[in-house]
């Protein structure tokens, strides 16, 4: 099979972790006889440095013409980077939001599970995680506060700002369908998270989710308020299967869900729409403090590449092969510094990628 991948290395540790993932994809291509064509796309700070904006229309079209996007990470240290002196629509993050919105990538899947091998790195008490947990957050990605009209105005001698939180029934319905479809293939439970005791968008959210759930009698639906969900993730993460939520709540809860796995360096993500196109990136950021040192953990990006093979290219055996190689490398005792524990072998980013590629 031949597939074209838009490769966005991005900023900070982005280039290192993407190169690691490409090593692993190359190993897949060799083993299974596929041809992957890589198209470089500039986005984020790397693009600002050259073009003065985070994503040019040319690169947007180039990315759109590929079969999928593999992204490292974007952004820098806001306290020192010149990128953050720019207007907000010219900063690195604006490139990411433009990609999500223009390509209609409305369904963001963020899995969070505890590897047996990494239980030591989990910050929760042993009695809470002795049986592990395995959930996926389905975050709506192209609506809500991120894309509502916003403004800061001077009123009676002081600045007043507003951000609009808007959701339509159709936006809610399409993400709900994705979440129920995925729950059906997993443990058949959807926890829909909202703030229906206070805000209208959440009350509409609840109504549409109820309607969609009628089409899935085999999937259990429960509603949970977002503040309670934040607490339950720490108290009893095992109760969750699919967490379905809107853009801003999903942003916050997915960081929390990743932290309890031991390291945010392990978690992949996929941003999908109704056809097979998707964007795949680690859940973590660009970690400018460790950029260029070859110590970042490439596993989240490598697992994102596995999701790309599974969801965009329908290469199931190939995706499993990457996931098994990651498991094997952990079983064999190799660790990057973020997940290092006593008695294990510490390796660099490039070495970790090589070890995983060797196990394909």
Q: Which residues are catalytic?
A: 146, 195, 227, 251, 255
Q: What is the contact surface with Mg ion in residues (CB under 5 A)?
A: 251
Least gap, CB of 311 to Mg ion (angstroms): 20
- Return the biggest CA–CA distance within the chain: 68
* CA–CA distance, 294 with 347 (Å, rounded to integer): 9
Closest to ligand IPM by CB, 15 or 75: 75
Element of type H or E holding 29: helix 14-32
Least gap, CB of 251 to Mg ion (angstroms): 4
Using CA atoms of 314, 60, 13, 340 in order, give the dihedral in degrees to the nearest 10.
-30
Least gap, CB of 320 to ligand IPM (angstroms): 26
The owner of tokens 């479809």 is: 181
Least gap, CB of 74 to ligand IPM (angstroms): 7
The owner of tokens 């009676």 is: 156
Closest to ligand IPM by CB, 260 or 357: 260
Q: Pick what 194 binds: Mg ion, ligand IPM, none; C-beta below 5 to 8 Å, kind-dependent.
A: none
Q: Residue 234 to residues 119, 142, 224, 346: CA-CA distances in angstroms?
A: 15, 27, 15, 29
Beta bridge partners of 222: 191
Q: Which residues are CB-neighbours of 292 under 8 A, at least 6 positions away?
A: 16
11 binds ligand IPM (CB under 6 A): no
Nearest-CB residue for ligand IPM: 93
Least gap, CB of 315 to Mg ion (angstroms): 28
Q: Pick what 11 binds: ligand IPM, Mg ion, none; C-beta below 5 to 8 Å, kind-dependent.
A: none
Site for ligand IPM in 138-167 (CB under 6 A): none
Closest to Mg ion by CB, 22 or 279: 279
354 binds ligand IPM (CB under 6 A): no
Closest to Mg ion by CB, 110 or 335: 110
Q: Residue 48 to residues 19, 54, 96, 287: CA-CA distances in angstroms?
A: 21, 5, 13, 18
Q: Which two tokens stand for residue 246?
A: 């809107």
How many Cα atoms sit within 13 Å of 137 on the Cβ side?
30
Q: Pick what 354 binds: Mg ion, ligand IPM, none; C-beta below 5 to 8 Å, kind-dependent.
A: none
251 binds ligand IPM (CB under 6 A): yes
- What b-and-e string marks burial along 195-208, b requiring 16 or more CB atoms within 10 Å of the CB? ebeeeebbebbeeb
93 binds ligand IPM (CB under 6 A): yes
Q: Pick what 13 binds: Mg ion, ligand IPM, none; C-beta below 5 to 8 Å, kind-dependent.
A: none
Closest to ligand IPM by CB, 93 or 117: 93
Which residues are near ligand IPM by CB under 6 A? 93, 96, 251
């Amino acid at each position: 099979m031949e597939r074209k991948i838009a490769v966005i290395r991005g900023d900070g540790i982005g280039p290192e972790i993407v190169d690691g993932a490409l090593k692993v994809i190359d190993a897949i291509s060799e083993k299974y006889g596929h041809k992957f064509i890589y198209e470089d796309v500039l986005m984020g700070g790397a693009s600002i440095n050259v073009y003065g904006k985070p994503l040019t229309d040319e690169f947007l079209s180039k990315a759109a013409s590929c079969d999928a996007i593999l992204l490292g990470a974007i952004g820098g240290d806001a306290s020192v980077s010149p990128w953050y002196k720019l207007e907000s629509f010219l900063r690195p993050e604006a490139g990411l939001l433009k990609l999500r919105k223009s390509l209609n990538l409305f369904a963001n899947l963020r899995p969070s599970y505890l590897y047996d091998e990494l239980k030591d790195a989990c910050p929760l008490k042993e009695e809470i995680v002795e049986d592990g947990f395995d959930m996926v957050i389905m975050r709506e990605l192209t609506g809500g506060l991120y894309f509502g009209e916003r403004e800061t105005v001077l009123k009676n001698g002081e600045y007043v700002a507003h951000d609009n939180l808007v959701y339509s029934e159709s936006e809610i319905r399409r993400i709900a369908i994705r979440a129920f479809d995925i729950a059906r293939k997993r443990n058949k439970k959807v926890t829909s998270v909202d703030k229906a005791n206070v805000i209208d968008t959440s009350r509409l959210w609840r109504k549409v989710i109820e309607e969609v759930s009628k089409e899935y009698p085999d999937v259990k639906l429960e509603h949970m308020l977002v503040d309670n969900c934040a607490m339950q993730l720490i108290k009893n993460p095992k109760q969750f299967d699919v967490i379905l939520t809107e853009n801003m709540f999903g942003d916050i809860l997915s960081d929390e869900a990743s932290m309890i796995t031991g390291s945010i360096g392990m978690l992949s993500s996929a941003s999908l729409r109704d056809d097979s196109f998707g964007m795949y990136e680690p859940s973590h950021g660009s970690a400018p403090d460790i950029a260029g040192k070859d110590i970042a953990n490439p596993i989240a990006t490598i697992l994102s590449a596995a999701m790309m093979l599974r969801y965009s290219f329908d290469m199931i055996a190939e995706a499993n092969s990457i996931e098994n190689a990651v498991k094997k490398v952990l079983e064999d005792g190799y660790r990057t510094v973020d997940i290092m524990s006593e008695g294990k072998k510490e390796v660099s980013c490039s070495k970790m990628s090589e070890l995983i590629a060797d196990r394909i």
